Chain A
Amino acid sequence: MLLCCAFFLVFGIAQAKSEPQGAASSTPSLPAPWQDAVKLLTDKIAAVADQSKPASLQVTNISSLSPAEAAEIGAALQAGLSGRLHLVSATEAETRIIVTLSEGEAGYIWVAQVSNGGGQSVEMVAFPSEGNPAVRAVRPGLSLERKIVWSQHEPFLDFAIPEAPANNAQQIIVLETRRIISYEQRESKWIPGATITLNPATALPRDVRGTIWQGSQEFEALLPGEACSGTPGNLLSLSCAPNASTNPEMSWPLASTAGRANAMFRANRNFFDGLSGAGQGEAKLPAFYSAAGMSENDGMSWMFAGTDGKARLYEGTGTASATFSGWGDDIATLETACSHEWDVLVTGAGDWTQPDHIQLYEIRDQQAVAKGQPLDFPGPILALWPSTDSKSARVVSRNLQTGMYEASIITVSCSE
């Protein structure tokens, strides 16, 4: 319940009336929509308050805003009003202004109750509570770092950040179920660019998955029933072909420290049927959701997150040498500069209605040892793919607090 988190900010310090009007606009620490809302609300309050009478301001937060954010907004409101009204403490005031920072289905709604003697006016401003899809860094753990690079309302399957965009502007390519679209950052705004419409040959499964492979020479985007390939950095070079609907299997790439391997993905379900290639001939394994591969001097090892909920380690034989339980379904190798061991990112168990996390494990002597603190996500992780060079990982997750789908890059910091 939002109301359980209510707290009060009371502003009763008298301010000089000679401060310039519109001071609320000079609050650069607030996001622009909040500054606009503060300005609008102060205008509305000033229009109904009796400016000849001393007034008090009380700000209450019953929304999901943090206490610090609410305090900033309260300070901005006070600054804005102090130029127009004679603000005093509540005991001296003849006009009482109570601002409630509230929130409804449509977003934030800030309500001012202005009591002038016997009458009361209610003024409000409302605006969406969603965040801007800005790049921001989060450093919640000892070793894992998450950088959110994109967010949007609509679900998406995977994303790629071109390494050498054409005009040096920051770009992101987003794979959705019906299109591939690129965005370019210009003057702090993301502008949609080229779009490729997808026409998969088969009905998409409910848990639709998709992946992007971005190599130095090739760029591929795959989802059930359709495969696209082209050159990196040029979305318009993509050529897409539907996968024959009679063949439910597609060859999808898997990254490992040895480079690319291929696995057969069941296009009408959500798992891989087996693994092939990797330069060592055909091999077939029990069905799995995700894989982590590691090349070492003496060969190649793989770990598979099976559809039975168990992760199994295969060290070159057809028999699992170790089994791990309690993990989620997505794993990925992460090669770090601070360790010569095999490190694997592992999502948490649970389901898509719950927050998630990623834990880094070191695989050594057929045991998995947790390293550092888990990296928490405010919602389920929907996809975890290693980068082509396994130096980082891409994560698509859903933020249960905002409802937004977020793209993140996961790396390891050696500074712990």
Chain B
Amino acid sequence: MKRPLSLFLAASSVALAAGPAFTARRPHYGGTLVVEEAAKLSSLDAPGNAAEARLKAQIESLIYDRAGRNDTSTEPGAFRLAQWEPGKDAVLAANEGYKDGRPFVDSVEIRMGRPAGDRMMDLELGKADVAEIPVEQARRAAEGGARISASRPDQLISIVFEGTSATTGDARIREALARSIDRAAIVNFILQKQGEPAGGLLPQWSSGTAFLFSTAADPSRAKEIVAQIGPSPKLRLGYDSGDPLLQAIGERIAVNARAAGMAVTPEAVAGGGRPGSGAWLTRMDMPSAEPGAALSYFLEQLKPIVARNEDREPLADPATPEQIYEREAAVAGSYSVIPIAWAPHVYGVSARVRDWSAPEPGKPLPLADIWLDQMDNTPGKKNR
């Protein structure tokens, strides 16, 4: 039996159900999103290292209406800075009148200076909603039940050779090292299968031509080259002392090199600076998914470092797929840069975060697009 609509009574308010957790597709408004970061930022004016610069860019992308990395607009963004505790906390409040629409959450709290272990613990305890997780720990975190989200592989881990070194100026030494490295083992065991071996300067998903670059180890050929060189070459391989992933990869490379008859010694360098050793293990973030822009950026970054003058030349803009491939092939073929692996950025995300997607290269965390699902009544779940 169906009765007329006129019997509807006025409802005094919108009462949200206090029942069990539910899912709903259309975004809800409200709540505070808690983001934890490793970097500490004392001021938005003077970022120090790359991690601090990245956090600065993240915050500025929220409080200013900026389209990309080169945009310096100071037009109001999706949030406004409501509270700032240098090196510790930043609270951003939703901008009700933002031109692209008010963010779904009422506020974002960014907690700075949180070590990886603390970030993972806070995610587990429901004290944090979004935090980056070291890629090498992602698998363990997922096995522990954490909600993990990985970007497309957009960090290039590579060895860069400085042109001024007598040792690394010899292309045969660089080639021997390149051929000795077991990239698949590095990806499988150190990166815990989060990523892929790199043979070129761009990932397959971006350029579509990465398959043309071999990533297979060729220890026999490496040994042949080393034998031609004469006395066993000695090489110090610098890496950022604050980067345990690069340390592990450096040590693995040393083992591979030793098997080919080369002596490679990993060398921790404080502050991410370049060592005087001539070979530098580093990781670089793609600034854009677009292959031409990404390759141009890499070439620009490598310009003051790489061995050959030809590898310092800028890429045509715009560049055709052929030009991009040829340039990649030239740099890879000169062994000025030895690509090792592509790694993703991995994030731990709390269960209540909805419409989350890992950011594209060069893009900040999409915090204005995230919304928070209704809190459930699970015991121990912190209800913010």
The residue of chain B having its C-beta at the shortest distance from the C-beta of A269 within the complex is B29
Query: Which A residues touch B24, using CB under 8 A?
Result: 307, 309, 328-329, 349
**A104: CB under 8 A from chain B?**
yes
Q: A347, B25: Cβ atoms under 8 Å?
A: yes
Mark interface residues in B165-194 (1 if CB within 8 Å of A CB, else 0).
Answer: 000000000000000000000000000000
Query: Which B residues touch A283, using CB under 8 A?
Result: 5-6, 8-10
**B207: CB under 8 A from chain A?**
yes
**B71: CB under 8 A from chain A?**
no
Mark interface residues in A378-411 (1 if CB within 8 Å of B CB, else 0).
Answer: 0011000000000000000000000000000000
Query: Which A residues touch B103, using CB under 8 A?
Result: 206
Query: Which A residues touch B8, using CB under 8 A?
Result: 275, 283-285, 314, 316-318
Closest Cβ–Cβ distance, residue A397 to chain B (whole Å): 11
**A217: CB under 8 A from chain B?**
no
CA distance A294 to B5 in the complex (A): 11
CB contacts under 8 Å to B, within A271-329, are 271, 273-275, 278, 280-287, 289, 294, 296, 298-302, 307-310, 314-318, 325-326, 328-329
Query: Which B residues touch A33, using CB under 8 A?
Result: none
The residue of chain B having its C-beta at the shortest distance from the C-beta of A316 within the complex is B3
Q: B104, A207: Cβ atoms under 8 Å?
A: yes
8 Å CB contact of A206 from B5, B211, B369: B369
The residue of chain A having its C-beta at the shortest distance from the C-beta of B294 within the complex is A105
Q: B205, A284: Cβ atoms under 8 Å?
A: no
Q: A316, B5: Cβ atoms under 8 Å?
A: yes
Query: Which B residues touch A160, using CB under 8 A?
Result: none
CA distance A70 to B292 in the complex (A): 27
Contacts A2-B204, A2-B205, A105-B290 aside, 13 further interface pairs with beta carbons under 8 A come to A102-B209, A104-B208, A105-B208, A270-B29, A275-B5, A296-B2, A307-B14, A315-B3, A316-B6, A318-B8, A349-B23, A352-B355, A353-B356
Q: Would you give 23 A-B contacts (Cβ < 8 Å), ordered by A?
A: A3-B211, A62-B211, A111-B211, A126-B321, A203-B101, A204-B100, A204-B101, A207-B104, A271-B26, A282-B10, A298-B3, A299-B4, A300-B5, A301-B2, A308-B374, A309-B22, A309-B24, A317-B8, A318-B9, A329-B25, A329-B26, A351-B23, A352-B355
- B residues with a Cβ closer than 8 A to A are 1-11, 14-17, 22-29, 96-104, 196, 204-209, 211-212, 289-291, 320-322, 325, 354-357, 368-369, 374
Sorted nearest first, the 10 A-B pairs with minimum C-beta distance are A316-B3, A104-B208, A318-B9, A206-B101, A283-B8, A109-B208, A329-B26, A280-B6, A309-B22, A309-B24
